[in-house]
Amino acid sequence: MEPDGYLIPMGNIEIRHLYKSYPNRRHQPRSSDEAGIGYGDQIPVLDDINLSVSDGEMVCLLGPSGCGKSTLLRITAGFDGPTDGSVEINGRLVDGPQADHIFVFQHSGLLPWLTVRENVELGIRHLKDPRARRARVQEQIEMVELEGFEDHYPRQLSGGMQRRAELARALAVNPDTLFMDEPFSGLDFLTHMKMREEVVNMHEFIRKTTILVTHDIDDALIMGDRIVILSGRPAKVEMDRTLGFDRPRDFERQPALNQLRSEIYLMLGVPYAV
Amino acid sequence: MTFSQIQAPNSYRRRLLFPLLGFAGLVLVWDLSARFSGWDHQVFPGPLRVMAVLGELMAGGVLLQHAVASLYRVTAGFYLAIFFGIPLGILLGRLQSANLFINPLIQFLRPISPLAWIPLSMLWFGIGDKPAIFLIFLSSFFPIVVSTTIAVNAINPIYFQVAANFNFNRGEILRKIIFPAIVPDIVTALRLSVTIAWLVVVAAEMIAVQSGLGYLILDSRNALRMDYVMGGMIVIGLIGLSLDTIMRILGHLGAASWNRMDT
Q: Which residue of A has its CA nearest to B161?
A: A79
**Cα B169 from Cα B222, distance rounded (Å):** 61
Beta carbons within 8 Å of A210's beta carbon, 6+ residues apart = A57, A58, A59, A177, A178, A179, A180, A203
What residues of chain A, 174 to 233, have a C-beta less than 8 Å from chain B? none
Query: Is residue A89's pLDDT more than 60?
Result: yes
Mean pLDDT value across residues B53-57:
90
pLDDT value at residue A29 = 65
Burial classification of residue A72, based on how many CB atoms lie within 10 Å of its CB (0-12 exposed, 13-18 middle, 19 or more buried): buried
Long-range contact pairs involving B254-263 (C-beta distance under 8 Å, separation at least 24): B255/A113, B255/B180, B255/B183, B256/B183, B256/B184, B256/B187, B257/B184, B258/A112, B258/A113, B258/A153, B258/A155, B258/B180, B258/B184, B259/A112, B259/B184, B260/B184, B261/A155
Given pLDDT bands bounded at 50, 70 and 90, which one contains residue B174? very high
pLDDT value at residue B3 = 57
Q: Could you tell me if A165 and A120 are in contact, meaning their C-beta atoms sit under 8 angstroms apart?
A: yes
Residue type, B96: Q
Residues of chain A with C-beta less than 8 angstroms from the C-beta of B158:
105, 107, 109
Query: What ipTM score was computed for the predicted complex, to two decimals?
Result: 0.85
Q: What percent of chain A has pLDDT over 70?
A: 92
Mean pLDDT value across residues A190-202:
88
Contact A103 B181 (CB under 8 A): no
Decide if B242 is inside a domain.
yes
Cα distances from A216 to residues A64, A124, A166, A219, in angstroms, run 10, 33, 21, 5
Q: What percent of chain B has pLDDT over 90?
A: 56
Given pLDDT bands bounded at 50, 70 and 90, which one contains residue A8? very low
The 10s digit of each residue's pLDDT in A107-138 is 788 999 999 999 999 988 888 888 888 898 99
Q: Which residue of A has its CA nearest to B260?
A: A155
Decide if B13 is inside a domain.
no
Mean pLDDT value across residues A167-171:
89
pLDDT value at residue B1 = 47
Report strand pairing: A58-62 vs A209-213: parallel
Decide if B198 is inside a domain.
yes
pLDDT value at residue A6 = 46
Interface test with A, best of B165, B173, B186, B258 (most A CBs within 10 A): B165
pLDDT value at residue A2 = 38
pLDDT value at residue B91 = 93
Beta carbons within 8 Å of A243's beta carbon, 6+ residues apart = A221, A224, A225, A226, A227, A257, A260
Q: What pTM does this model have? A: 0.83
A105 touching chain B per CB within 8 A: yes
Mean pLDDT value across residues B72-88:
95
Q: Which domain holds residue B161?
A: 45-257
Decide if B27 is inside a domain.
no
Of A105, A113, A122, the CB nearest to B166: A122
Q: Which residue of B has its CA nearest to A121?
A: B166
Tell me how many residue pairs between chain A and chain B have CB atoms under 8 A apart: 45
Decide if B144 is inside a domain.
yes
Beta-bridge partner residues of A269 = none
Residues of chain A with C-beta less than 8 angstroms from the C-beta of B258:
112-113, 153, 155
Contact A109 B161 (CB under 8 A): yes
Query: Is residue A252's pLDDT more than 90?
Result: no
Mean pLDDT value across residues B56-69:
90
Q: Which residue of A has its CA nearest to B181?
A: A113
Q: The dihedral of CA A147, A150, A155, A156: what is its sign? A: negative
Decide if B3 is inside a domain.
no
The 10s digit of each residue's pLDDT in B98-149 is 888 888 999 999 899 888 998 899 899 988 889 999 999 999 999 999 999 9
Å between B230 CA and nearest CA of chain A: 46
pLDDT value at residue A4 = 42
pLDDT value at residue B26 = 93
Query: Is residue A26's pLDDT more than 80?
Result: no
The 10s digit of each residue's pLDDT in A141-154 is 988 888 899 899 99
Residues of chain A with C-beta less than 8 angstroms from the C-beta of B181:
113
Q: What percent of chain A has pLDDT over 90?
A: 19
Cα torsion B111, B113, B118, B119 to 10°: value is -60
Q: What are phi and psi of B223, to 5 degrees?
A: -90, 5
Mean pLDDT, chain B, rounded, equals 88
Query: Per the structure, how many domains does chain B have?
Result: 1
Query: Is residue A186's pLDDT more than 80?
Result: yes
Q: Could you tell me if B156 and B178 are in contact, meaning their C-beta atoms sit under 8 angstroms apart?
A: no
pLDDT value at residue A235 = 86
Of B162, B167, B255, the CB nearest to A111: B162
Between B41 and A29, whose confidence is greater?
A: B41
Å between B219 CA and nearest CA of chain A: 50
pLDDT value at residue A5 = 41
Q: What is the CATH number of the domain that holds B251?
A: 1.10.3720.10
A149 touching chain B per CB within 8 A: no
Of A99, A113, A153, the CB nearest to B166: A99
Decide if B36 is inside a domain.
no
Mean pLDDT, chain A, rounded, equals 85
Decide if B122 is inside a domain.
yes
A137 touching chain B per CB within 8 A: no
